[in-house]
């Protein structure tokens, strides 16, 4: 006789996984808000006692942060908050230029949905900036979503996936710069200028969107390296 339908799932539960995610969420918040600076050791025992959870739960949450690039695990040293490297920032920005530049160049042939997505992600970012109540983590996510939307103009799932991976590498550094310089408002305004050029179909030329994007990424590279003292 078959078992009742609900009996098939009697061994399933979500409590542990939910606790891991709650711990990971709290650690992300602390990293983005500057409570845990780059290089800070993330000790399992101390975190478990502070958060009131088990060490295995902390260990799993740290594994999540390592996978996201927010933390680094080294043999015999444990886990620390990741520290951006100047050469990595430069390389990521070069790759961003290739991908986002391709997106901007694709604007004339992009469909209305992809074009509208650029405007929508910009408005989500600028509204968060102007409201003043968003966390650095939220600002960072909306900021990077805008840049990914530029790559979405290409219509290439592979290029979009590559862009998302690059943003994961860059998000810790960008969040730290935003926190240090408190310049999210200026960033939002510069992005608005880029979108205005796109919507006017001014892609090429020295005053077009393509060159505007190049200058923006070049400036971002210098700003990140200087603000974080990576040289």
**Comparing C-alpha atoms, which of 144, 142, 184, 141 is closest to residue 160?**
144
What number is the average pLDDT over the span 131-137? 81
For position 125, what pLDDT does the model report?
92
**Is domain 5-81 given the CATH code 3.30.465.10 in the classification?**
no
64 touches 20 (CB < 8 A): yes
For position 2, what pLDDT does the model report?
58
Per-residue pLDDT tens over the stretch 192-221: 999 999 999 999 999 999 999 999 999 989
The 10 Å Cβ neighbour count of residue 34 is: 13
5-81 matches 86-227 in fold: no
Q: At what angle do helices 184-199 and 136-152 cross, to 10 degrees?
A: 20
Of the pLDDT bands very low, low, confident and very high (cuts 50, 70, 90), residue 10 is low
Give, in order, the Cα–Cα distances in Å from 192 to each of 17, 46, 87, 184.
40, 44, 29, 12
pTM value surpassing 0.85: no
Best mean pLDDT range from 108-112, 125-129, 167-171, 182-186: 108-112
For position 76, what pLDDT does the model report?
83
CATH of 86-227, one of 3.40.50.300, 1.10.260.40, 3.50.50.60, 1.20.120.530: 1.20.120.530
Q: Where are the domains of the chain?
A: 5-81, 86-227
**Greater confidence, 185 or 179?**
179
Per-residue pLDDT tens over the stretch 49-65: 999 999 999 999 999 99
Of the pLDDT bands very low, low, confident and very high (cuts 50, 70, 90), residue 230 is confident
Measured distance CA(121)–CA(110) in Å, rounded: 16
Tell me what the pLDDT averaged over the chain comes to: 87
What number is the average pLDDT over the span 18-30? 89
% of the chain beyond a pLDDT of 70: 90
């Amino acid at each position: 006789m078959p078992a009742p339908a609900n009996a098939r799932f009697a061994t399933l539960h979500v409590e542990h996984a939910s606790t891991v995610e709650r711990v990971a969420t709290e650690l992300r918040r602390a990293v983005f808000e500057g409570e845990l600076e780059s290089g800070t050791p993330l000790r399992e025992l101390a975190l478990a006692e502070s958060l009131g959870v088990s060490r295995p739960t902390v260990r799993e949450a740290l594994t999540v942060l390592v996978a996201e690039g927010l933390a680094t695990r080294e043999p015999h040293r444990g886990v620390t908050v990741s520290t951006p490297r100047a050469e990595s920032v430069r390389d990521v920005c070069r790759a961003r230029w290739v991908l986002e530049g391709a997106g901007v160049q694709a604007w004339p042939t992009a469909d209305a949905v992809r074009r509208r997505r650029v405007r929508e992600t910009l408005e989500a970012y600028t509204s968060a900036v102007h409201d003043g109540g968003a966390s650095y983590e939220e600002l960072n996510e909306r900021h990077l979503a805008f840049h990914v939307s530029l790559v979405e103009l290409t219509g290439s799932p592979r290029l979009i996936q590559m862009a998302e991976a690059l943003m994961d590498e860059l998000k810790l550094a960008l969040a730290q710069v935003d926190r240090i310089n408190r310049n999210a408002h200026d960033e939002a305004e510069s992005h608005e200028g880029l979108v205005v050029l796109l919507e006017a179909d001014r892609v090429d030329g020295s005053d077009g969107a393509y060159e505007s994007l190049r200058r923006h990424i070049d400036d971002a590279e210098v700003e990140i390296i200087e603000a974080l003292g990576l040289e």
